[in-house]
Amino acid sequence: MVEEESDVNQHDKCSVEWTLDVIGGKWKGVIVFHLLEGKKRFNEFRRRIPGVTQRMLTLQLRELERDGVVHRKVYSEVPPRVEYSLTEFGQTLEPIIRNMKTWGDEYARRVAERQAEGQ
């Protein structure tokens, strides 16, 4: 009813935040990024994501699973095997993640440039 200047309302605000709630975690973006190429196993992530600890990897994967982004398939074998993959819903994150990668590249380039300037 009131139109004023508020073409941006509560709804708009929350939408952006929902997304950050889902992929804003320290390692979640990277995890999803790696899953874009296909399913991955637990230790594959550890190798591909230097710096992540077992604990954090587990926690972040569990949250992504809970949010319906990642699917976790357990094979009843010895030794155990678990495969992580993106759900259909998780796939819809692809544009965002790709954008984030592109932007991050540019950002890194920019930072490097600044340092090269001795500034």
| Chosen residue from 13, 39, 48, 81 binding DNA by CB under 7 A | 81
Written as one letter, the residue type at 109 is R
Q: Distance (Å, rounded) from C-alpha 92 to C-alpha 74?
A: 24
Rounded to the nearest whole angstrom, what is the least distance from the CB of residue 108 to DNA in the complex?
19
Q: Which does 64 bind (CB under 5 to 8 A by kind): DNA, a copy of itself, none?
A: none
Identify which range of 2-10, 51-59, 85-93, 94-102 contacts DNA by CB under 7 A: 51-59
Residue of the chain from 58, 91, 92, 99 that contacts DNA (CB under 7 A): 58
Interior angle at CA 57, CA 84 and CA 33, nearest 5: 55
**Quick check: 56 binds DNA (CB under 7 A)?**
yes
Q: Which does 53 bind (CB under 5 to 8 A by kind): DNA, a copy of itself, none?
A: DNA
Spell out the residues 6+ positions from residue 54 whose beta carbon is closer than 8 angstroms to its own.
Answer: 46
User: Which residue among 16, 38, 76, 79 contacts DNA (CB under 7 A)?
Assistant: 79
